[in-house]
Amino acid sequence: MKKIFLFLLATMLLTSCGGNGAAVKPADDPARAANFNKTYPIVDSLLKVMTLEEKIGQLVLYTSDWDVTGPSIREGYIEDIRSGKCGNIFNAYTAAYTRKLQEIAVNETRLGIPLLFGYDVIHGFRTIFPINLGISSSWDPGLIEESACVAAREAAAAGLHWTYSPMCDICVEPRWGRISEGAGEDAFLGSAVSRAMVYGYQGADLEDPFTIAACVKHFAAYGAPHAGRDYNTVDMSERWLREFYLPPYKAAVEAGAQTVMASFNEYDGTPATANAHLLTEILRDEWGFDGFVVSDYTGVMEMINHGTSADLADASVKALNAGNDMDMQSGGYSEFLKKAVEEGKVSRKILDEAVRRVLTVKARLGLFSDPFKYCSEEREEAETKTEENLHTALVLAQESCVLLKNHNNILPLSKNSPVAVIGPLANSADDLLGTWRGAGQVEGVKSILDGIKEMAGSVVYTPGCDVEKESQALFSHAEYAARSAGTVIMVLGEPCDWTGEAASRTSIRLPEVQTELLKEIAGTGVPVVLVLLNGRPLDISEESELADAVLEAWYPGTMGGEAVARLLFGEASPSGRLSVTFPRNIGQIPIYYWAKNTGRPYVDIGAKYESRYLDCPNEPLYPFGYGLTYTTFSYGKPVLSSDSFGPGGSITAKATVTNTGSREGCEVIQLYLRDMLGSVTRPVKMLRGFQRVLLAPGESTEVEFTITQEELSFWRKDMTYGPEAGEFRLFIGGDSSCEDYVTFTYND
Give the residue numbers annotated as catalytic, written as ranges. Answer: 296
Task: List, in sequence order, every residue forming a beta bridge with 745; answer none if it has no partner.
Answer: 644, 727
d(CA 708, CA 710): 5
Half-sphere exposure of 382 (CA within 13 A, CB side): 6
Angstrom CA distances, 618 to 593, 615, 675, stand at 11, 10, 22
Amino acid occupying residue 410? I
Bridge partner list, 489: 421, 529
> CB under 8 Å to 246, separation ≥6 — which residues?
187, 220, 221, 282
Q: HSE on the CB side for 676, CA within 13 Å?
A: 12
Q: Which of 293, 148, 138 is nearest to 219 (CA)?
A: 293
Strands 487-493 and 528-533: parallel
The angle formed by the CA atoms of residues 531, 533 and 538, to the nearest 5 degrees, is 95
Please state, in angstroms and rounded to a whole number, the distance separating the CA atoms of residues 114 and 84.
Answer: 10
* Rounded Cα gap, residues 693 and 696, in angstroms: 10
Residue 501, SS3? coil
Q: Which residues pair with 403 in a beta bridge?
A: 551, 628
Q: How far apart are CA 139 and CA 373, in angstroms?
A: 35
Query: Measured in Å, how far apart are the chain's first and last C-alpha atoms?
Result: 66
| CA–CA dist 699, 420 (Å, integer) | 36
Closest by CA to 28, choosing from 205, 256, 289, 246, is 256
Are 556 and 430 contacting, i.e. CB atoms less than 8 angstroms apart?
A: no
For the packed helices 512-522 and 475-483, what is the interaxial angle rounded to 10 degrees?
Answer: 30
Closest to 397 in 3D by CA, of 517, 241, 564, 547? 564
* E strand or H helix that includes residue 607: none
- Which residue, 385, 377, 483, 519, is CA-closest to 442? 385
Q: Determine contact, residues 87/113, Cβ cutoff 8 Å.
A: yes
CA distances from 112 to 15, 109, 565, 649 (A): 20, 5, 52, 55
CA distances to 196, 427, 442 from 496, rounded to whole Å, are: 25, 14, 13
Q: For residue 739, what are the contacts with CB-CB under 8 A and spacing of at least 6?
A: 731, 733
What is the DSSP secondary-structure string of 19-56? Answer: S-------TT-HHHHHHH----HHHHHHHHH--HHHHH
Contacts of 198 (CB under 8 A, 6+ apart): 148, 166, 214, 216, 252, 255, 256, 257
- Determine the Cα–Cα distance for residues 109 and 666; give it in Å rounded to an integer: 57
Provide the 10 A C-beta neighbour count for residue 51: 12
**C-alpha span between 480 and 395 (Å, rounded):** 35
654 touches 702 (CB < 8 A): yes
Sequential DSSP letters for 356-407: HHHHHHHHHTTTTT-TTTT--HHHHHHHTT-HHHHHHHHHHHHHH-EEEEEG
**For the chain, how many residues are written?**
748
